[in-house]
Structure 1
Amino acid sequence: MSEFDCQRNITLLNLYTILLNCVFILPILLPFYRDELGLTFHDFLIGESVFAVVLILCDVPSGYLADRWGRRNTLILGAFVLALGYIALFFATGFWSAVFAQGVIGGGIAFVSGTNSAFLYDSLLSQGRESEYRKREGFRFALQLYSCALASVAGGYLYMIDHHLPLMIEIVMMLTGVGVAFLLIEPPRHQHIEEHHPLRDIRDTLIYVLHGHREIAGIVLLMVIVFSTTKICMWGIQAYADALKIPETYNGWIISAVMLCGALSGHFGHKILPNLRGEQALQGLIVLLVIALLVAGFSMSFVGIIALGLEAFVYGFGMPRTQETINNLVDSNRRATILSTANLAMALGFVPLSQMVGFVTDATDISTALITYAAVLTFLAVIAKMITMKRSRC
């Protein structure tokens, strides 16, 4: 691969990233489920749970496919599967077809996630430019965020023109992404790092944390509690806005503002209370989330939307510190396994917690669901604290 080809790959990968992250449907998914499919918030969260499970199941197969079949081909497949998922959602007529569509979208994201980073690294490595990886990957991550934020603003207005219009544009973007991926040049293959199945990672982690490493178990549990909650709050904003009868055109602005808040907290969060340890930070963030949930639940006003939007700060501020804490506590040959398992645990933790919120919302209302979840969150935080306290007494 020449220097020109390497630079061309970087440019095309950035364009591919923009196309796949212009998610116009993001801020109006719940209104679409309500207006076009006659489904509830709980129904949507069931689909999101299927999405999370498919993402986990496809994690290792997608990595294996990228290693054996090629990064470029896997990126092509990922964009194509995403297009199929959005097409399925476009033609969805009810619960099962919508859940199927979300599962397909989850599979498409699994093919793209990780493969894009590996493609970038291999392209840079082919020219001895691997030292640029952090900068290039950081820029690509920013493109993801800004593309999604701008598309969210547009999505709310497009929905008011026609409920299916955001999906139509989404499909065009994904298919354009397929075309861009075809223009990529497969970089030379370098040494492969063996990947384990997620279930094996979970087994190894359980053995490790239950034999003298309860502090890590407590931190992983805190991660599940905190970052499952941030995702529930993110989707809860749309259900909350619906309960307040806020027009869908504002959804895009709200979601965009939340994303930018997350970006800023991630960018500058290290300057806020820099000496705060990961475990202490997570415990403090749980308190913040409980307060936010109670404020949103009891106020049922625009103040509640701001309170739920604090999830973006929690994610941007808390995730880097948590990962740093695990890196400091775990030896190098186990770090990847522990972090991988923590990510999988967060995805799995979202499933039962989100179903509880969805069930209570359908049975009562979003206000009661948020207050109930605040109580559950407090209970889980106490359990996690007890686990870490047992470790400190050993």
Structure 2
Amino acid sequence: MITTSTGVRRTYYALELGNTLAASLIWGINTIFLLDAGLSNLEAFAANAFFTAGMVLFEVPTGVVADLWGRRASFLLGTVTLAVSTALYVLLWRIEAPFWQWAVVSLLIGLGFTFFSGAVEAWLVDALTATGYEGQLESVFARGQAISGAGMLVGSVAGGYIAQLVDLGAPFVLRAAILGLMFVVAALLMRDIGFTPRRDARPLAEIREIVSSSVEYGWRVPAVKYLMLAAPFSGGVGVYVFYALQPHLLDLYGDPGAYGVAGLAAALVAAAQIVGGLITPSIRRLFHRRTSALIAVEAAGTAVILLLGLLASFWVALVLVAIWGLLFAAAMPIRQAYLNGLIPSQQRATILSFDSLMSNSGGIVTQPLLGRAADVWGYPASFAISSVVQVAALPFVARARAERAPADTDLAATPTP
């Protein structure tokens, strides 16, 4: 059993690496996979929107599962659900299923991911606190991000070339197999430390109590609320841009069958994630407040998305994708540390899940609308529109900064107990 903070961190890194490797195998070719199944841009991004809707619908319930029955139980349920729903995606592709079936299975894939969101991060923070970890959370999140970035780099490149050498369904099959392996790894290594699940509680009564507490400690805390209100704009745009880059790069490259090239978008984001995780502490030191760093990165990311829409060069697009991924990667550990410094342990998984819910809710609206814009005016125009949408996040981050919460400074290096 894990008894030291070193063991906790190593387990967290292993889970991040395996999960990201499995997930990223299809990230470079997912949109192309859907288009190959006969869906239009509108339908493909609507299918993605149903995936996002699944995450929104199930975020809080699965966060409650993590708080009631344990973070480990939530993780194990996630691996099983995601593996099965991924296999169903391959079946739909084989039979060229109608859109409504893609919508249903996309909801199930969203359910699978919600078992992970919040639970793993809450497990890490509670376990580090219980084992006496005295370092800064940014360093752990940043290293975890760099490690998961390595997994994403390998997975996205491998997925693209596996699709090119075999077929577009092969990366999905491999993803399901790796998720099965991760179930075994988590069952052996992951234990709830610093948190006692309440398995004998009545679910409905506990759901009401936990959700009420989460509103009290999350939504009613202005610094948390404003950061969550910014999330739908940046999160919705981010997921659209990531998946739209695949066919956009193929258009710029001039070869619609070069799936390995499509994987470059995800690979560049992965490489940027590694670098971003490593340089996060340096970026953090440039700003007295965490929210100041977030505002600067958000504004720079908006400008990069606009340039993606204005500049029609394959090689320039690759550079911009790398910069965009670097900015996103540098911001995430800072945002995670800020939020975890504001929320209590008992409601941590649920509040983090609610934060993820807010981020994903933007994707329900933006993905089909921006996908339709791509059908009508092309991908460059949809990127320009995306940059306008993302600008709306900046005033909310500024409001969070105005709250001057203790977690916004270096003095709040540890999570709320």
Q: Quick check: TM above 0.5?
A: yes
Shift of 1:106: 1.8
| Equivalent runs, 1:129-278 vs 2, <5 Å | 129-131=131-133, 140-161=144-165, 162-184=167-189, 190-191=195-196, 201=214, 209=222, 220-244=228-252, 245-246=254-255, 247-272=258-283, 274-275=286-287, 277-278=289-290
Greater Rg by CA: 1
**Secondary structure, in 3 states, of the residue corresponding to 2:168?**
coil
Query: Is the 1:19–1:173 Cα contact (8 Å) retained in structure 2?
Result: yes
Shift of 1:49: 2.5
* Paired-residue identity, %: 21
Number of aligned residue pairs: give it. Answer: 380
Deviations along 1:217-260, whole A, 9 cap, x unmatched? 66554444334333332222113113223521122233122122
CA distance in 1, matches of 2:304, 2:374: 17
| Equivalent runs, 1:302-381 vs 2, <5 Å | 302=314, 303-322=316-335, 342-378=355-391, 380=392
Sort the Cα spacing of 1:326 and 1:20 in 2 relative to 1 into closer, same or farther, 3 A: closer
Query: Is the 1:282–1:322 Cα contact (8 Å) retained in structure 2?
Result: yes
Deviations along 1:194-232, whole A, 9 cap, x unmatched? 8866687468766554xxxxx876655444433433333
Query: Is the 1:155–1:166 Cα contact (8 Å) retained in structure 2?
Result: yes
Query: Is the 1:124–1:130 Cα contact (8 Å) retained in structure 2?
Result: yes
**Secondary structure, in 3 states, of the residue corresponding to 2:28?**
helix
Sort the Cα spacing of 1:243 and 1:332 in 2 relative to 1 into closer, same or farther, 3 A: same
Query: Is the 2:292–2:401 Cα contact (8 Å) retained in structure 1?
Result: no
CA distance in 2, matches of 1:304, 1:57: 35
Root-mean-square deviation (CA, aligned residues, Å) is 4.3
Q: Which residue of 2 aligns with 1:212?
A: none
Gaps of 5+ in 2: 199-205, 405-417
Sort the Cα spacing of 1:278 and 1:335 in 2 relative to 1 into closer, same or farther, 3 A: farther
| Equivalent runs, 1:80-99 vs 2, <5 Å | 80-92=80-92, 93-99=97-103
Q: TM-score normalised to the size of structure 2?
A: 0.73
Shift of 1:108: 1.6
- Greater shift, 331-340 or 59-68, is seen at 331-340
Query: Is the 2:146–2:276 Cα contact (8 Å) retained in structure 1?
Result: no
Q: Which residue of 2 aligns with 1:289?
A: 301
- Greater shift, 232-241 or 179-188, is seen at 179-188
Q: Which residue of 2 aligns with 1:60?
A: 60
Shift of 1:325: 6.3
Sort the Cα spacing of 1:351 and 1:60 in 2 relative to 1 into closer, same or farther, 3 A: closer
CA distance in 1, matches of 2:58, 2:9: 26
CA distance in 1, matches of 2:402, 2:134: 44
CA distance in 1, matches of 2:218, 2:74: 29
**Secondary structure, in 3 states, of the residue corresponding to 2:158?**
helix
Shift of 1:110: 1.9
Letter in 2 for 1:177: M
CA distance in 2, matches of 1:109, 1:198: 20
CA distance in 1, matches of 2:3, 2:382: 55
Higher relative contact order (CA 8 A, sep 6+): 2
Q: Which residue of 2 aligns with 1:75?
A: 75
- Greater shift, 191-200 or 251-260, is seen at 191-200
- Greater shift, 64-73 or 142-151, is seen at 64-73
CA distance in 2, matches of 1:178, 1:98: 25
**Secondary structure, in 3 states, of the residue corresponding to 1:39?**
coil
Deviations along 1:182-205, whole A, 9 cap, x unmatched? 445755784459886668746876
Shift of 1:322: 4.7
Query: Is the 1:53–1:348 Cα contact (8 Å) retained in structure 2?
Result: yes
**Secondary structure, in 3 states, of the residue corresponding to 1:350?**
helix
CA distance in 2, matches of 1:54, 1:165: 24
Deviations along 1:254-278, whole A, 9 cap, x unmatched? 3122122133223313424712645
Sort the Cα spacing of 1:53 and 1:297 in 2 relative to 1 into closer, same or farther, 3 A: same
Sort the Cα spacing of 1:332 and 1:375 in 2 relative to 1 into closer, same or farther, 3 A: same
CA distance in 1, matches of 2:175, 2:11: 19
Q: TM-score normalised to the size of structure 1?
A: 0.77
CA distance in 2, matches of 1:319, 1:199: 27
Query: Is the 2:123–2:193 Cα contact (8 Å) retained in structure 1?
Result: no
Letter in 2 for 1:250: V
Shift of 1:72: 4.5
Query: Is the 1:222–1:283 Cα contact (8 Å) retained in structure 2?
Result: no
Query: Is the 1:234–1:309 Cα contact (8 Å) retained in structure 2?
Result: no
